[in-house]
Chains A and B, each alone.
Chain A
Amino acid sequence: MQVTLHQDKCVASGQCVLAAQDVFDQRDLDGVAVLLDDRPPAELHDDVRQAATVCPALAIALADA
């Protein structure tokens, strides 16, 4: 799984961190999400899919890799 994060769309809602905190974090300054791991291990894939689904800004894209 290849994760892409579009920071210019992010509204700093933190839903991705709540869903998958090993893969996403938020910048202290403005809360914009940062990607900690763009190729997360298989056991985190469900959490990352949930993060992409709940992101209210559609800022997280997933691709097979």
Chain B
Amino acid sequence: MNTPGNVVVVGASVAGLTAAVTLRTLGYDGRLTLIGDEPHTPYNRPPLSKQILAGTWEPDRIKLRTDEELSDLDARLLFGRSATGLDTAARRVVLEDGDSVSYDALVIATGVTPNSLPGAHHLAGVHLLRTLDDALALRADLRHKPGVKVAVVGAGFLGSEAAAAARRMQLDVTMIDPRPVPMRRQFGDRIAGLVGRLHTKNGVSMRCGTGVRRFFESGGRVTGLELTDGTLLDADVVVVAIGAAPAVGWLAGSGLELGNGVECDPTCRAAPGVYAAGDVASWHNDHFGCRMRLEHRLNATEQAQAVARNVLGEGQPFAPVPYFWTDQYDAHIQAYGIFPADAELAVLHGELEGGHFVVAYGHRGRVVGVLGWNSPCELRKLRQLVVDRAPWTSILPTPPTVWPGRHLSASLR
């Protein structure tokens, strides 16, 4: 096996850093360069829309590595520098200042860029939420004066968490989404309906089934918006959380397949010597027999570990059971697997109305996902159903809601 002597990683967040750290852990002692365009040392994103936004944590708590641990990596760290081009034939990454860095193996870990809303982002008070700087700017605006009116555009997990954080600050919050219920794309109508009720119960004004037509401003600052159903809303702060697109602009002309992200084979390899990991990577997951690209925190770690092993010649397919969580108000929602829109649902533990439950998602005769609502231990034990791709009928004969959860859990452990 030909191990490379010079590895370059582009994107210095969780996937990029984990790839670099894993290479060293596995004994790689060649040259290593980590390039990232953010000025900060690498940090963890999930707390941005939770503790950082709510003001319960300060940025120091979310560093992925201490400065000392970073220097122990024995890598060339190019932070605050962005990659603008890739020449796969010459095996070179081009930087914005015209410098270039050559590689034997390249790991692409540039994540995603949030989508923006036309005609809005030149206004003060309008925010995206992806980076630490975004979160701090939004937090400052939310605290700016008492009684701030907040409009959250997009009711996916990011918008939902931002709405929850703003409600925690006792602010007046409206959430707008063209779909009929929040988080529908993630979890399907039934569970999404529960998320909608959760927001309403916590005092968010939900405007589902409508979009934004235009923004109002005064002196360059947003003052309100008009919805597509004609409603006028006052707003001092607008959070735009309408999804994100893979950060692949710098790869144009490189010859890599850039469909929905950097398209890789099952081993996360995109071209000879080129791999991708984390939110930017699209690959064929053999466990589910389909191509996927995930924007989940755990996947960034696991995929980067797999890529590091494959860079060193292991050549193993990456076929995980994905995991995802979100915190909103008192609801801690966690999920393993995939959640196709046309999946069937069965309650395996607790009750949908009871605030604690686990449901299974069935697709083409197999269990493909399990989702837990305030039931972390039960969920972890039921994960095995997804690992085993258990036949859907095998979990159905007894009316599932009366299953003795504990007993079942014990036997699965």
Contacts and interface: CB of A to CB of B under 8 A. Distances in A.
A15 B305 CA distance: 15
B27 to A, nearest CB: 14
B104 interface: no
Interface string B297-329: 110011001000000000000000001010100
A14 B44 contact: no
Contacts of B305: 53
A13 B379 CA distance: 10
Contact of A26 (B21, B327, B380): B380
**Chain B interface, >50% SS class:** helix
Contact of B46 (A12, A27, A28, A56): A56
A14 B370 CA distance: 14
Nearest to A54: B301
A36 interface: no
Contacts of A18: 380, 383
A17 interface: yes
A26 to B, nearest CB: 5
Given A13-B325, A31-B332, A54 B298 contact: yes
A12 B18 contact: no
A12 B332 contact: yes
Give the bracket for the number of chain B residues in contact with chain A: 20 to 34
Contact of B298 (A9, A13, A28): A13
B137 to A, nearest CB: 24
Interface string A1-36: 000000001011111011000000011101100000
B13 to A, nearest CB: 13
Contacts of A49: 25
A14 B377 contact: yes
Which one of A9, A11, A26 has the highest number of Cβ atoms from chain B below 10 Å of its Cβ? A11
A11 B379 contact: no
Nearest to B22: A53
Give the bracket for the number of chain A residues in contact with chain B: 10 to 19
Interface string B273-303: 0000000000000000000000001100110
Interface string A40-60: 000000000100011011100
A54 B46 contact: no
B18 A53 contact: yes
A56 B376 contact: no
B242 interface: no
A12 B64 contact: no
A13 B321 CA distance: 14
Contact of A12 (B21, B44, B376): B376
Given A53-B18, A58-B44, A58-B64, A15 B376 contact: no
A54 B302 contact: yes
B380 A56 contact: no
Contacts of A56: 44, 46, 297-298, 301, 325
Contacts of B334: 12-13
Interface in B102-121: none
Closest CB pairs A-B (n = 3): A31-B376, A14-B380, A12-B376
5 contacts: A12-B376, A31-B377, A53-B21, A53-B301, A58-B44
